[in-house]
A and B are shown apart, each in its own frame.
Chain A
Amino acid sequence: MAGIHIERVTKSYGQLAVLKDFSLEVKDGEFVVFVGPSGCGKSTMLKILAGLEEASSGSIRIGGRDVTDLAPGDRDIAMVFQNYALYPHLTVRKNMGFGLKMRGTDSTEIDRRVTDAAKILGVEHLLDRRPKALSGGQRQRVALGRAIVREPQAFLMDEPLSNLDAKLRVHTRAEISALHKRLGVTTIYVTHDQIEAMTMADRIVIMRDGIIQQIADPDTMFRKPANLFVAGFIGSPGMNFLRATVTSNGANPAVRLFGHEVPLQASQSLAGRDVVVGLRPEHIVAGPGPVTFEVTPRLVESLGSEKYIYVDVPSENRAEVARSGGDERRTDTIIARLINPDERIADGRITLSFDPARLHLFDATTQASIE
């Protein structure tokens, strides 16, 4: 077990800069998740950590030892691959023992460790099968098993759940967390799924185009996103963004949202600035509140225990915010996520409200959060 220090790592493929100045300190036993949209350089960073790719510059230390130019096999790390990379010609037992065999561990020791790992993961009955005869979930466990028998200083996992179906993914997510608690080995986990990141991580590193956007624990990430990208990426559905200009209304600065003057708890110096106001869908509630407005929903989606209400945004509040890939949200609607709403929608009208204290403020030009 060991901490990992990544210092100013960069990586370019020819002209293409994939990682720009990546620095991170991972504590011993920590579970760190790299998250970001596809193509942002997560896998590349993981491969550099594993020694499968060479960093263009920067240095890496694992457990205090400089491993920047060490072969993958000498770094004492284990990796779990997205497609598991189990060898089809070997049985599960041999697959799991492969790493130890390559290191010349004696066979009784290999056997003992493989059996132990198989017990932990509940794959003892599969040990003599070939990977081909396993289900997706079982292969996933075997791949984890192959990593844990090595008893390495750190685990690196590259989207290990993305080949599983939704239900199994939720289940295995919890199992990996439990396994981490049990073994306490430093783990770096890569995913593009913010829910995985939020549920599993001690700390999240959120990346975009090879640049770290924010490093924080899941709670902070949700409550205090550093910029518009993080705010839009974390949470489902993502945060609503509204454009406004701060006005000075006597003592307090304020913004105009949905035709209401909304006072802000912010410094007077903001007056006159263009801002993007962020409001999480779950912070809009049904019924009257500090800021109340009545709307005609464009669309209501019911998920049983909750409802998603799509609301038109007045044109003065429409914000052009580039969101992360895949999450194509219209700029002219916001979403309200109502948990068990009692409020009936009468004549197509519904009363919604929000608390101005819940608003996030971002600079419209730099996209950074305003405290």
Chain B
Amino acid sequence: MKPRFSLDLARPSRRHWLGYLLLAPAVLLIGLIIIYPLIVSVDISFQNVNIARLDQPRRPFTTANYERLFASGDFWNASWVTLKLIVIVSLFCFVIGLATALLVNNKFKGRTFARLLVALPWAMPEVIAVVIFAWMFDSSFGLMNWVFIKLGFIDTTINWFSSPAAAFAVVCITMIWKGYPFVSIMMLAGLQSIPEDFYNAARVDGANAWQRLVNITIPSLMPVLGVTLVLVMLWVFRDFSIIYVMTGGGPLKATQSLSIMTYEQAFGFFKMGYASAIGVVTLIICVIASRLMIGRAPDNI
């Protein structure tokens, strides 16, 4: 038998080589577009850089960016705004998403259309959604002022974008509107994977609709719920365009989240080292938060 020099990937001992071979291009690509910039930005965050240029020599190592960051009121304000956004937007996205999913999971005429309607905001580009909401909340021609006055909630028009609380509320509403369909779609998929016999068994056992929701539907959705929650929170955490287009972070930094602050420092004040430091901190928070969430999700089903 003559020796074979060709790479025999069919051998049991080498079977996993093919896997690595097929993965290689993707890994390279990820390395190029994610890992490399990440390393660069971590590197920059430890230098006193204004406009980062890769062809210039490294500046000396310094932790000044981080020291300044943790001492800055703006940073803590942005963190607080981000936290508030995450809690409020995620909460409402979940309540509305779950409710609409339960609704369109029922059998009724026009269900397909209703499902489409529920998913509609998800398909709309963020900037367009923001423009629509900015219009609706416009102080002089806005729909919302008119509705609220007609309903008698307010007696003079509110200038939504000059009051910090109102601007924050409008941003929240826009994000919820944009974000709940994702939860709804995920929940619907989860709902459809619950076997009908679970409900039949519970009905025979005498569970009413509320008991079935609490004891079967919600626990069965738990795995999907956990992942979805992480994804929604990360989306709120790093979403930039909605806030930027709507308020630009104002008024009085009331809607300045960490991502807005990063952008402002980097491309407004050209303090790229400082901006990178914010970015790195954001990244660390994201990683820790998602680890905690995913780790806590029950591993049943």
- Which residues on A are within 8 Å of B, measured CB to CB? 47, 50-52, 71-74, 77-79, 81-83, 85, 87-90, 98-99, 102-103, 130, 132, 146, 150
Q: How far is the CB of B296 from chain A (nearest CB, A)?
A: 15
Q: With CB as the reference atom, state the residue of chain A lying closest to B222.
A: A89
The reply on B55 being an interface residue by CB < 8 A is: no
Once the chains bind, are B298 and A85 in contact (CB under 8 Å)?
A: no
**Residues of chain A within 8 A of B219, CB atoms compared:** 87, 89-90
Which of B197, B205, B220 meets A83, CB within 8 Å?
Answer: B197
Once the chains bind, are A77 and B205 in contact (CB under 8 Å)?
A: no
Once the chains bind, are A79 and B201 in contact (CB under 8 Å)?
A: yes
Q: How far is the CB of B298 from chain A (nearest CB, A)?
A: 7
Q: Is the interface of B mostly helix, strand, loop or mixed?
A: helix
Which of B200, B205, B300, B301 meets A102, CB within 8 Å?
Answer: B205
Once the chains bind, are B211 and A102 in contact (CB under 8 Å)?
A: yes
Once the chains bind, are B205 and A85 in contact (CB under 8 Å)?
A: no
Once the chains bind, are A87 and B197 in contact (CB under 8 Å)?
A: no
Q: How far is the CB of A177 from chain B (nearest CB, A)?
A: 23
Once the chains bind, are A85 and B197 in contact (CB under 8 Å)?
A: yes
Once the chains bind, are A87 and B198 in contact (CB under 8 Å)?
A: yes
**Residues of chain B within 8 A of A77, CB atoms compared:** 204
Q: How far is the CB of B193 from chain A (nearest CB, A)?
A: 11
**Residues of chain A within 8 A of B215, CB atoms compared:** 87, 98, 102
Q: How far is the CB of A79 from chain B (nearest CB, A)?
A: 5
Which of B198, B202, B204, B207 meets A50, CB within 8 Å?
Answer: B204
Once the chains bind, are A88 and B206 in contact (CB under 8 Å)?
A: no
**Residues of chain A within 8 A of B207, CB atoms compared:** 73, 98, 102
Once the chains bind, are B220 and A102 in contact (CB under 8 Å)?
A: no
The reply on B12 being an interface residue by CB < 8 A is: no
The reply on B14 being an interface residue by CB < 8 A is: no
The reply on B42 being an interface residue by CB < 8 A is: no
Once the chains bind, are A71 and B197 in contact (CB under 8 Å)?
A: no
Contact with A along B159-176 (1 / 0, CB 8 A): 000000000000000000
**Residues of chain B within 8 A of A90, CB atoms compared:** 219
**Residues of chain A within 8 A of B206, CB atoms compared:** 71-74, 99, 102-103
Sample 25 A-B pairs with CB under 8 A, ordered by A number. Answer: A47-B200, A50-B204, A51-B203, A52-B204, A72-B204, A78-B205, A79-B200, A79-B204, A83-B195, A85-B195, A85-B197, A85-B198, A87-B198, A87-B215, A87-B216, A87-B219, A88-B220, A89-B301, A90-B219, A98-B202, A98-B215, A102-B202, A102-B207, A103-B205, A146-B201
Once the chains bind, are A88 and B300 in contact (CB under 8 Å)?
A: yes
Q: How far is the CB of A66 from chain B (nearest CB, A)?
A: 18
Q: Provided the pairs A89-B222, A89-B300 are in contact, do residues A73 and B205 lie with their beta carbons within 8 angstroms?
A: yes
A195 to B277, CA, bound (A): 74
